[in-house]
Amino acid sequence: MLRPQDTGTRETKRLDGIWRFATDRGGVGRAEGWWRGPLGDARGMPVPSSFNDVLVDPQVHDHVGDVWYQREVFVPHGWAGQRVVLRFEAATHRATVWIGDAYVVEHEGGYTPFEADVTDLVVPGEQCRLTVVVNNELTWESIPPGIVEVLPDGTRRQRQYHDFFNYAGLHRSVWLSTTPRAHIADVTVTTDIDEGVGIVRYAVAVADAEGMTVRVRLRDAEGGEVAAAEGPDGALRVDHPELWAPGRGYLYDLHVLLVDGDGVVDRYPLPVGIRTVRVEGTQFLINGEPFYFRGFGKHEDLNVHGRGHDDAAMLHDFSLLAWIGANSFRTSHYPYAEEVLEQADRQGIVVIDETAAVGLNLGVGGGMFLGGPRTTYSDETISTATQLVHRRAIEELIARDKNHPCVVLWSLANEPESHTDAGRAYFEPLFAAAREADPSRPVGFVNMMFALPHTCTVTPLADVVMINRYYGWYVEPGDLDAAERGLEAELQAWATTHGKPIIVTEYGADTVSGLHATDAGMWSEEYQVALLETYHRVFDRTEAVVGEHVWNFADFATGPSFMRVDGNKKGVFTRDRRPKMAAHDLRRRWLGAT
C-alpha cells in the first residue's frame, strides 16, 4: 500500500482540520445509523489528534466505546475519470467508515493505515458526507489487549495491561487522493552491497495495467540518474554508492513509471537508502560495521494532542535527539506515524520498529486487577484469535515500513510472557510470519525480567536479545550497588547462554524535574543520573551489549495508578521537552560534550 503523494499522475487532498465529533455514550449510534445524517449534538474535534485531552470534559477524556467523526468533503472536479482512494493513517483502535449512506471499509488495529477505492461512491465536483465511527476498547481480541468492565449503571471502564494512557481517535492524517485507473499498486525495495557496488532490488505491483510496462530510474540526491531498468522486478547496480548510514541519511530516489507505449500512465517516486543490516555473533552490523544503539524508547505523547501527530513537535524531538547525541530509538509500543520514519530516513536515525503488542503478560498486569485472570495464553485470554490479530498487525507494519532504510529490526512485542511453553507456541508462528514478510531484516521481541537467560523460551527464535531491566528501581529500589551487581550478572548470563547481541531496550528511573537531593534519593534528578551511570559502567564492561535505550525520551501520560504521579516520569526530558540533569549527562556520554 503506497502512501498518497502528488506526482505528475496523482493528486492528494488532506482531510485534516476540525471535524464534527460526538461520543456515543449509550452505544446506540450503529443501531440508529448515525452515518445517515448530520451527527446530533456534535462538537468540533481536530484531526489529527487524540480526542481525550482537547475538551475539558471528563466524559470525553474517559470515554470507553464508540466516538463518531463526520465532515463534508468536496471532491475536486478535476478528478473525473481518476481512481479515487480514501485513506486513514491511523484510527485507534478500530473504525468503520461510510460515505453518505454507503458502507466503505472497516479496520482493526490503531496504528497502521487502511484505505478503500471510493471511485464509485463519490462524484467529482460534488460534496459528500464522510462519517467514521472509532472504537477505543481493548479486549482479549485486540492488540494491545485489555478488559472492558461494565459497571452497574452501564458505564464502561477500560482495564489494560500497559501503563501509557489509552489515547484514541483519528491520530494521523486522512487523505482523499487519486491514482490513474491503471496504476502502480506497491513497490518493494531491498538493498545490498556487493564488493563495493550498491544493489537495489525492486519489485513493482501494478493494477489494471495489462500490456503496460514498468520502468524504473534511480537518481542520486542531486537528481543525476545512476541506474535504470525495465520490467516489474529486477536489480539495479550502483557503482561507488553513497550509503545510507547512521548519522548520514543519504537517499536516492527510485522513480517508478508505468508506461503504455510512449505515454507515462502513472509515476511514483520512492526514497531509497542503500545499506545492509546483519547480525553476526554478538555484533549488530550496519553496512558491515558494528553498530551501537544510543537512544531511547519513546512515545507519541504530547500535551493536548495526546498521540495525535504534529510535524512541529516531531521535528523538535528529532532535533533533541541530535542535540543529545542519540543515533536511534524504538517505536515503543506501537508503530509511529509515517512522517516519523520518513524523518528518521532523512536524518540517519536508526529505528527499532515495534508492533502494538504490549501487555501480553498477565503475570505483570494480573496483580493490578486484584483477582483478574492470571493465565496469559488460554482460550479465555490471549488466544488463537488474539494471535491472528497480532499476526495481521505484524504483516501490516512490515507492509507499511518495509522500504524505510532507518528500520533495521522488527520488534514483535513488548514484554510478553516468554518463560513458558505456551509463550513459545504463541510466538513461533509470529516469528515465521515476520520472516516471511521480510527476509531482509532481523526480528526480535522485548523481554521482561520474568524470563531469564536460561528460562526464556522465545529468545531462541530471535536474532537479537532485547531486554528491559529496572535494577535500582522496581528491583533493588534505591540500592545502586546491588543494582550494578544484579545487572552485570544477568547480562553476562544472557551473553553466554545465547551468544547474540544484547540491546538494553529500557532502563531508567522516575524523576521529578526540579527535585534535588544531596543523598541522590529515588525520584530526584541526582538519582536518575546515578542510575544511568551505573548501567553505563556495566554496559561498557559487557562486550555483547550493543545498545542502550533509556526509558524514556520524555515524561508521558499514563492511566490512573498508585505507581504514577501525573504520568510516567522516567523521561530524560519533561513532557514539554525540557532537559533534566540526566539529559546533560547523557549528552556528555554520547557526544563527549562538556
Residues tagged active-site: 415, 506
DSSP reduced 3-state for 583: helix
The reply to whether 570 sits near ligand GCB by the rule CB under 6 A is yes
Helix axes 581-591, 311-324, angle to 10 degrees: 60
d(CA 270, CA 265): 17
Q: How far is the CB of 549 from ligand GCB (least distance, A)?
A: 11
Which of 142/414 has CB closer to ligand GCB?
A: 414
Decide whether 176 or 446 has the Cβ nearer to ligand GCB. 446
CA distance 313 to 307: 11
- Quick note: the x/- pattern for ligand GCB over 318-347, rule CB under 6 A, is ---------------x--------------
Q: Which is nearer to ligand GCB, 401 or 415 (CB)?
A: 415
One-letter amino acid at 106 equals E
Which residues lie across from 285 on neighbouring strands?
Answer: 278, 290
Q: Give the shortest CB-504-to-ligand GCB separation in angstroms.
A: 12
Closer to ligand GCB at the Cβ: 241 or 295?
Answer: 295
Nearer to ligand GCB, 269 or 559 (CB): 559
Listed residue (449, 446, 583) closest to 511, CA to CA: 583
Per CB under 6 A, the list member of 415, 488, 525, 555 interacting with ligand GCB is 415
Nearer residue to ligand GCB within complex by CB, 227 or 382 = 382
Task: Taking each helix axis as running N to C, give the angle between helix 384-401 and helix 338-347, from 0 to 180 degrees, rounded to the nearest 10.
Answer: 50
* Residue 34 DSSP code: G
Nearest CA-CA partner of 132 in 89, 195, 191: 89
In angstroms, the CA 577 to CA 30 distance is: 41
- Burial grade of 225 (CB within 10 A; 0-12, 13-18, 19 or more): exposed
Of 343, 414, 447, 459, the one binding ligand GCB (CB under 6 A) is 414
Three-state DSSP class for residue 151: coil
Q: Is 307 in the site for ligand GCB (CB under 6 A)?
A: no
Kindly state whether residue 585 participates in binding ligand GCB, applying the rule CB under 6 A.
no
| 3 state DSSP class of 311 | helix
Rule CB under 6 A: which of 80-99 touch ligand GCB?
Answer: none
Binding-residue total with ligand GCB (CB under 6 A): 11
Q: Shortest approach of ligand GCB to residue 568 CB, angstroms?
A: 5
We find the least distance from the C-beta atom of residue 474 to ligand GCB, in angstroms, to be 7
* Cβ–Cβ under 8 Å, residues 283 and 546: yes
* Residue 275 or 570 having the CB closest to ligand GCB: 570
Q: How far is the CB of 157 from ligand GCB (least distance, A)?
A: 21
Should residue 568 be labelled a site residue for ligand GCB when binding is judged by CB under 6 A? yes
Q: Which of 24, 266, 300, 506 binds ligand GCB (CB under 6 A)?
A: 506
Shortest gap between Cβ of 241 and ligand GCB (angstroms)? 38
Is residue 549 involved in binding ligand GCB (CB under 6 A)? no
Q: Which of residues 396 and 415 has its CB atom nearest to ligand GCB in the complex? A: 415
Dihedral of the alpha carbons of 135, 139, 429, 277, in degrees to the nearest 10:
60
Work out how close the CB of 175 gets to ligand GCB at its nearest, in angstroms, rounded to a whole number.
Answer: 31
Alpha-carbon span 546 to 541, nearest angstrom: 11
Question: Taking CB under 6 A as the criterion, which residues in 148-207 touch ligand GCB?
Answer: 162-163
**Which residues lie below 8 Å from residue 387, measured CB to CB, with a gap of 6+?**
426, 429, 430
Omega cis (within 30) before 498: no
Cβ neighbours for 281, distance < 8 A, ≥ 6 positions apart: 499, 501
Q: Of the two residues 415 and 484, which places its CB atom closer to ligand GCB in the complex?
A: 415
Contact partners, residue 194, CB within 8 Å, separation at least 6: none
Write the DSSP assignment of 486-549 as a string of letters: HHHHHHHHHHHHH-S-EEEEE----B-TT---TT--TBSHHHHHHHHHHHHHHHHH-TTEEEEE
Does position 468 bind ligand GCB by CB under 6 A? yes
- d(C-alpha 22, C-alpha 12), whole Å: 27
Q: Does 298 bind ligand GCB (CB under 6 A)?
A: no
- The angle at the Cα of 284, spanning 195 to 585, to the nearest 5 degrees, equals 125
Q: What is the nearest approach in angstroms of ligand GCB to the Cβ of residue 373?
A: 20
Q: Which is nearer to ligand GCB, 415 or 585 (CB)?
A: 415
Shortest CB 473 distance to ligand GCB, Å: 8
Cell numbers describing residue 495: 551473553
CA angle 241, 232, 410 (to 5 degrees): 60
Q: Name the minimum Å distance from CB 94 to ligand GCB.
A: 22
3-state secondary structure (DSSP) of residue 36: helix
Q: Where are the alpha helices (DSSP H) in 298-361?
A: 311-324, 338-347
Residues that bind ligand GCB (CB under 6 A): 162-163, 333, 414-415, 448, 468, 506, 551, 568, 570
